[in-house]
Amino acid sequence: MFLLTLLFFIQKFGESSQNVVKPNIVMVMSDAFDGRLSFDPGSKVVQLPYINYLRELGSTFLNAYTNSPICCPSRAAMWSGQFVHLTQSWNNYKCLDANSTTWMDVLQRSGYRTKMLGKLDYTSGSHSVSNRVEAWTRDVQFLLRQEGRPVSQLVGNMSTVRIMEKDWDNTDKAAQWIHQTAARLNEPFALYLGLNLPHPYNTESLGPTAGGSTFRSSPYWLSKVSSELVSVPKWLPMAAMHPVDFYSTYTKNCSSEFTEEEVKSIRTFYYAMCAEADAMLGQVISALRETGLLDNTVVIFTADHGELAMEHRQFYKMSMFEGSSHVPLLVTGPGVKSGLQVHQPVSLVDLYPTVLEIAGIPAVGYLSGNSILPFIYKARHFSKNDHPEWVLSEYHGCNANASTYMLRVGHWKYIAYADGRSVPPQLFNVTLDKDELHNVVLKFPDVRLQLDKLLRSIVDYPKVSAAVQLYNKREFTVWRESLGRNYTEVIANLRWHVDWQKDIPANQRAIDTWLQKTEWLKS
């Protein structure tokens, strides 16, 4: 009798241990969302009720960064869990292979029902010819002016809510999937929703290759912005700008004059676009609540990169300044601490191991990131010592004419370029200098040496820069030869270009230091 009873309990225990309910995972990834808006004081400038909801219910990372401030390389890092230089995701055309294993693939193989909707944008071959050619020709003696002048555009009226229709359509599909599929599942699920907002819209009047330089919204969303709190950022004089920043300003068509009203309008419209994205996040959260799934679902909100919105006389991303590189990261769900603000620097490569940790799946193979659960879980059996005190971001694409590497450690942000010698580095104390207007690299030579040594221990950045330059030359040459006699006409119409040597002021000739080394386009 005793043996029968023992066998009964062993059997029941085995069944219960196998039927442990794993949490569902929902990630909403926005595009170009300034992470500083997810906490005070930035959150006060615009009403973001659902981001605030996640912040109160869960944990907010105050120092979360992209691993590359542009769409495809950033998302490639997030999906693969590996740094950009390891996957060689150099620009918006060169990213992951189509058969690369993502964390969503791992979840699916481990019994999760998976669904991906909206903007994915992490495999090679996407984006326009213009975008890739601009990346390939970033360090030659002429430049292709990339963007239209940034403008704001008012549409609709106080009843106009759905402006980015494509995003709303995908959000509707996500909510529908939660109601009709997820609510009926016997297994855990993972849902990913990628949004385009608040990425600026294409400026259609300038043609198909003009890029996105229109900040568009309606009176309804503009009413969510506290206009009196919208700041006009300080700019350095053009002659005092770092040469790479100057190049970026010029190629983004921001070197001409802007009135304070123009700048404030662009920023106001950008914040209104963030409010619309927040509402989409809210629809997903509401669907989870309505189906009773929210209590057992980990919800993650983040973005691929930020948006400068006229900080540093630039819009778009492609920069290591906070507006471009700082992303939101909010997590809520079972076991996650409520109302917690985490100062630990983290980045998008940390999401891969985090998701696997949530699902109870051991990581296989090398990952660049580390799980962020030790900082936010109520359980005490995690060790915070496994996570480094630094984050790495790198950039190799268009609008910046040198490969760029950023290391954030404590209150320091160190930015190195190219081979580490031909382009001067930058060093900012982001605690004392929140506007990042004072490059103190010459004042703190010991800090520079220490951080450069740490950076080189993480990535051999001169070697990576050389590899990118060779890739750019090879890919451009192949493309040019494929056009034959049509090359001159195609590149002339790609976007209008200027003579770099003729149009750039004499006080910016320092840029020639590395421009003159790349004569291959003329051959």
Which burial class, exposed, middle or buried, applies to 292 when counting CB atoms under 10 A from its CB (0-12, 13-18, 19+)?
Answer: exposed
CA distances from 363 to 357, 407, 429 (A): 8, 25, 35
Rounded Cα distance, 204 and 29, in Å: 25
Name 110's Cβ contacts closer than 8 Å, sequence gap at least 6: 359, 361
Query: Which of the residues 71, 72, 95, 398 is marked catalytic?
Result: 71
Task: Report d(CA 49, CA 44) in Å as an integer.
Answer: 11
C-alpha span between 509 and 492 (Å, rounded): 25
Cα distance between residue 141 and residue 273, in whole Å:
37
3-class DSSP assignment, residue 300: strand
Is 71 one of the catalytic residues?
A: yes
Q: Are 374 and 383 in contact (CB under 8 A)?
A: yes
Query: What does DSSP say about strands 346-347 and 64-65: parallel, antiparallel, or unpaired?
Result: parallel
Answer for the pair 310, 150: CB distance below 8 angstroms, yes or no: yes
What beta strand segments (E) does 398-459 contain?
404-409, 412-417, 426-429
* Strand (E) or helix (H) holding 77: helix 71-80
What distances in angstroms separate CA 106 from CA 110, 111, 239, 361, 402, one per listed residue?
Answer: 6, 9, 51, 8, 35
Residues with catalytic roles: 71
